[in-house]
Amino acid sequence: MANMIEIRDLNKYFGDLHVLKDIDLTVEEGEKVVIIGPSGSGKSTLIRCVDYLEEPTSGEVIIDGTPLTKKNHLEMARTYSSMVFQQFNLYPNMTVLGNLTLAPIKLQKKSKEEAVEAAMVALKRVGLAHKAGEFPQNLSGGQQQRVAIARALCTKQPIILFDEPTSALDPEMVQEVLDVMIELAQENITMICVTHEMGFARQVADRVIFMDDGRILEQGSPEHFFENPENPRCRDFLAKILH
């Protein structure tokens, strides 16, 4: 398998705060990676560096062989990666269909017909084709997040980054979003997902990564990771959230 994402010696500071510390990480094409760790450990910042929503202070992020730079990052993100956020980030004054066709038409220069067709295919996949004409505020949180996932799907980039996609949802809506993600994981999409959903990690991840204080302290297959973590901080963290 080819490397889709290579992160080399990545450091990120916010002012004096050293948030990512010498991160090295390679993700293969089609690989599903779940990142867990305590609040403030740098998980979101790390995946935001993958599509340059945060600019690394030093080090490199290489996508499909091309290093991200100030100059190319918008074009690279358009081609390679989309992000699903905790707070959905849908435009409230646009219909679901409007939200889904905006980037393909404006940024990817697709025709309206092509964008609508792709949007409807994506909405079907998340079970919401019948909501195409609705405004986001008329949907439940779970439905809004499924729309956000459909939006990520219809731009057809090979990488999807999930930043705690179920953390803002009422508990009864979490599973419907996870089910969509589980189904997506059957495909050759490269996924990095920051989440506290350990069942999802066990079911879907090829690799689980534990971050603490800006560093990757443990990583491995779910079997190894959950049964036999070596790092004491990872063991403590798992003991807390699993019991």
Q: Which residues bind ligand ATP (CB under 6 A)?
A: 14, 17, 19, 37, 39-45
Q: Is 195 helix (H, G, I), strand (E, B) or coil?
A: coil
Q: Which is nearer to ligand ATP, 139 or 191 (CB)?
A: 191
Least separation, in Å, of the C-beta of 54 and ligand ATP?
7
Phi, psi of 203 (to 5 degrees): -80, -35
CB 192 within 8 A of CB 35: yes
Q: Which is nearer to ligand ATP, 44 or 166 (CB)?
A: 44
Q: Which is nearer to ligand ATP, 5 or 126 (CB)?
A: 5
Cα separation, 159 vs 176, whole angstroms: 21
Both tokens of 45, joined, read: 């910042």
- Can you give the length of the chain in residues? 243
Least separation, in Å, of the C-beta of 55 and ligand ATP?
11
Least separation, in Å, of the C-beta of 16 and ligand ATP?
10
Q: Which is nearer to ligand ATP, 64 or 213 (CB)?
A: 213
Bridge partners, residue 160, by sequence: 82, 191
Least separation, in Å, of the C-beta of 43 and ligand ATP?
4
Least separation, in Å, of the C-beta of 210 and ligand ATP?
11
Residue with tokens 């973590």: 229
Q: Which is nearer to ligand ATP, 39 or 186 (CB)?
A: 39
Question: Who's near 92: CB < 8 A, 6+ residues apart?
Answer: 135, 136, 137
